[in-house]
Amino acid sequence: MNTSSIPSITGVILAGGQARRMGGEDKGLILFNHKPLIAHVIASLKPQVDKLIINANRNIEQYAAYKFPVINDSLDDFCGPLAGMLSAMQAIDTDYILTAPCDSPHISAQLRQRMMETLLMQQADIAVAHDGNRLQPVFCLIPCRLKTDLQNYLQQGGRKIDAWLSSHTMAVVDFSDQADTFLNVNHPEDLVTHLPPVLSPIPLIGFAAFSGTGKTTLLRQLIPALKTKGIRVAVIKHAHHNFDIDIPGKDSYQIRQAGAQQVLVSSSRLMALMEVPSVAKIEASLSTLIPRLDCSKLDLILVEGFKHEAISKIELHRSSLEKPLLYPIDQNIIAIASDLPLDLERDIEQLDINNIATIADYLLHFINSWTH
């Protein structure tokens, strides 16, 4: 334990849940604004604490890549956030833990200060954040001296975090002026609704679909149809992180491998710019890619991939794939191109996925009605 007069604090990022509402995906590793959610939490919490650890029960190597200790639950069967808190307290030597979930990307820079000040002023055991409407129990400051008490509670079958917290003297910490701190990503639609809209100087529309639906095939047919209507088209496509447009052994490849940050290759037939991201593993956003296009020479930008961006989209759906529709969880979908008529819950344009001319006409109408 710390012997100085200033209490020492370990930040604990809780990433040990099963994320059932997110379809079982490991939420901490889901991309939000082109970075894994946990990267946002680390950036916010690390400057505020003396030490930082991650509580996780799967994908341990991926979490360990962030160079902080990764602690598994000491109890089996995903016993909830209290199990992660206990495991953290058993593994550290600081006076307190300050906890935050892995799916809240906008954590307040005043979290530690406000929590500790309120706890000391009220001479309480535990401090818990409040957003102005309700308690946020996974944002709490807990003294490690309570680890035996918490262990006994869990061993007796207790699982409810509110019940255990309220069994101690609890300071409620007001964050009503920073309620965005507690915005979290619990459902797939949250990945879109929490993002700012993408700004573009010209009409921009994406195609949303499950793998195997035929996005690229449709684009190969659609672009010539648009071209015959005089529409100048650019395509922004999201690719697998291992993709490369260069060929090993070529001069441009060797120059890039030597360390050039950007390589621009030009001929009378084609020009290509290859750029190495300044930060590894950070996906480029549409907002940073669009300005790289010469929009003065374009009428429309089509986007393949980037499914979590807040842009207008056409969903592609084939009944034979037996996949669920995406439009109920993405309010940016403005039309559905399907191989069969659909009975939809909200009024939305329906197109025939096999009728390229109809889709081209819809895009022409989209261009003519564009506002930004």
pTM (2 d.p.) = 0.56
Strand order in the sheet with 204-208: 233-237, 300-304, 204-208, 313-317, 333-338, 349-352
How far apart, in Å, are the Cα atoms of 217 and each of 113, 185, 222?
55, 33, 9
pLDDT band at 325; cut points 50, 70, 90: confident
**Two structure tokens written together for 238:** 């999201």
Question: What is the four-CA torsion angle of 312, 316, 319, 323, rounded to 10 degrees?
Answer: -70
Residue 50 confidence (pLDDT) above 50? yes
For residues 142-166, average pLDDT: 93
Average pLDDT, whole number, for the chain?
A: 86
Whole-number percent of the chain with pLDDT over 70: 88
For residues 90-119, average pLDDT: 94
Q: What is the pLDDT of residue 276?
A: 75
Angle at 311 between CA 228 and CA 272, to 5 degrees: 60
Q: What is the pLDDT of residue 267?
A: 82
φ, ψ at 275 (rounded to 5°) = -130, 135
Class level of CATH domain 9-189: alpha beta
Residue intervals in the chain for CATH 3.90.550.10: 9-189
CATH 3.40.50.300 fits 195-241+282-368, yes or no: yes
Task: Decide which of 180 and 146 is more confident.
Answer: 146
Residue 352, Cβ density class (10 Å: 0-12 exposed, 13-18 middle, ≥19 buried) = middle
Q: What is the pLDDT of residue 246?
A: 75
How far apart, in Å, are the Cα atoms of 259 and each of 78, 131, 275, 279, 345?
45, 48, 11, 14, 53
Residue intervals in the chain for CATH 3.40.50.300: 195-241+282-368
**Two structure tokens written together for 208:** 């949303």
Alpha-carbon distance of 204 to 93, in angstroms, equals 53
pLDDT band at 220; cut points 50, 70, 90: very high
For residues 326-336, average pLDDT: 86
Residue 247 confidence (pLDDT) above 80? no
